[in-house]
Amino acid sequence: MSPLATLFRSSIGRKFLMALSGIVLVAFAIGHLVGNLQIFSHPDKLNGYAEFLHHTGPMLWAVRVVMLTCLGVHVWAATVLTLENKRARGGQAYAAGKSWLRAPFASRYIRLTGYVVLAFVLYHLAHFTLGITDPADFKGAHAYVMQQDYAVMGLPVVAAGTQVDNVYLMVYRGFESVPVSLFYIVAVGLLSLHLLHGIDSLFQTLGLRSQTWAGALRKVVALICLLYFIGNLAIPGAILTGALAPHPAADVRGTAATAQTSPASAQVAQHD
């Protein structure tokens, strides 16, 4: 059997694919959060960042294809492995009930948290990438004029004066809705729980975990997951509680109605 066939057909091969796709997804999730935390800065930052990402051309699509492939592989491997596991256990359950001996809490619910995370990813894409759930505030609906250059690693990539999509406004409006914010908070909480077992587990699957540092690994993973949750909680949490006051430059409360009908008037309004 070729190595590729082995990866897709054998038990350990599929687990290996699960771990590899997991690494890519975790790296993305953390990078995505770090980028989004720019909402706590001037709207130039988040809007410039979004404009920059949208104009990376084929790179953007390459990343999207890789991400969707990894998500597909991760879900496929999870489904196949779970079905095999259920078959292996057989129809007869233990009458005395299954009492856990040492399985970590997060591991017991990894499949259930996975379902919620998948639903959340689909909703999140519909909300902020495709603009299906909230078209009135979707990025193209409002315009924003960059007040300063946006630079990546010292290189200015979006010049001051450029008219860009108002992603800051879209995110702000999105999280002003209590049910939406609460769903985000619950979902990222469960995602953090998913990662608590997932990250720890991938080291075991790749054969990189051993008793000598298993304890330290567990603590580091727990810290990463906690920070990830706090970071994700901060954005909807700050908007919902009013701790993050809307930046006047992003025209959060002002002339949204006119902005929707005419991006040009929004531009004028922002300069007022």
Partner 1 sequence: MAADTTPTSSKNISVTLQIWRQAAADQPGKFVEYKATNCNPNMSFLEMLDVVNDDLERRGEDPIAFAHDCREGICGTCSLVIDGKPHGPHEGIASCQTYMRSFEDGAVITVEPYRAKPFPVIKDLITDRSAFDKIQQAGGFISIRTGAAQDANALPIPKQDADLAMDAAACIGCGACVAACKNASAMLFVSAKVSQFALLPQGQPERDTRVLNMVAKMDELGFGNCTNQYECSAACPKLISHDFIGRMNRDYIAATFRAACKDKAAGADGGA
In the complex, the residues that contact partner 1 under the rule CB under 8 A are 2-3, 6-7, 10-16, 81, 84-85, 87-90, 92-104, 107-108, 110, 197, 200-201, 203-211, 214
Q: With contact defined as beta carbons under 8 Å apart, do 52 and 158 qualify? A: yes
Q: How far is the CB of 223 from partner 1 (least distance, A)?
A: 19
Q: How far is the CB of 59 from partner 1 (least distance, A)?
A: 29
Task: Identify which of residues 24 and 233 has a Cβ nearer to partner 1 in the complex.
Answer: 24
Task: Identify which of residues 54 and 86 has a Cβ nearer to partner 1 in the complex.
Answer: 86
Task: Identify which of residues 22 and 48 has a Cβ nearer to partner 1 in the complex.
Answer: 22
Q: How far is the CB of 191 from partner 1 (least distance, A)?
A: 18
Q: How far is the CB of 73 from partner 1 (least distance, A)?
A: 15
Cα gap 98→168, rounded to integer Å: 49
Q: How far is the CB of 102 from partner 1 (least distance, A)?
A: 4
Task: Identify which of residues 6 and 41 has a Cβ nearer to partner 1 in the complex.
Answer: 6
Task: Identify which of residues 61 and 105 has a Cβ nearer to partner 1 in the complex.
Answer: 105
| Phi (first) and psi of residue 152, to 5 degrees | -115, 120
Q: How far is the CB of 18 from partner 1 (least distance, A)?
A: 9
Task: Identify which of residues 90 and 242 has a Cβ nearer to partner 1 in the complex.
Answer: 90
Which residues are CB-contacts of 21 (< 8 A; sequence separation ≥ 6)? Answer: 69, 70, 71, 73, 74, 77
Q: With contact defined as beta carbons under 8 Å apart, do 21 and 71 qualify? A: yes
Q: With contact defined as beta carbons under 8 Å apart, do 263 and 143 qualify? A: yes
Cα gap 166→256, rounded to integer Å: 11
Task: Identify which of residues 19 and 143 has a Cβ nearer to partner 1 in the complex.
Answer: 19
Q: How far is the CB of 209 from partner 1 (least distance, A)?
A: 5
Lookup result for tokens 């979707």:
138
